[in-house]
Amino acid sequence: NKKGITVIVSTVSHKKAMRDYVRSQIPQFIEVYLECPTKVCADRDYKGLYEKAKAGEYQTFAGITEPYEPSENPNLVLNTSQMSINECSAILFKSITAFLGNS
């Protein structure tokens, strides 16, 4: 990023303080919140991670052992339980393209 190269990072950042910290460190930062109820995430979980978390196999697991701390104003919210992958992808691509064009 410091060399002017666009960097895209996908993380599970359920703590607001961590997202705020990253936003303060990276001038051209965009937060995309993938909104989805925990039950829908668990229903989609083909690896069985939610069941393991419910069984106590993980100390920290967003949505199970720790709550998601929402941001006041994420740059983009995509409700993945109400929109298809194609719809979310199109909106994300359009938004990121506009963001990068204005940066």
pLDDT at position 2, please?
79
List the structure tokens of 1.
């990023």
What is the C-alpha to C-alpha distance for residues 50 and 62, in angstroms, rounded to an integer?
10
Is 13 tagged catalytic? yes
pTM attached to this predicted model: 0.85
Predicted confidence (pLDDT) per residue in 38-88, tens digit? 999 999 999 999 999 999 999 999 999 999 999 988 999 999 999 999 999
Q: What's the 3-state SS for 77-102? A: EEECCCCCHHHHHHHHHHHHHHHHHH
> Out of 13, 81, 84, 89, which one is annotated catalytic?
13
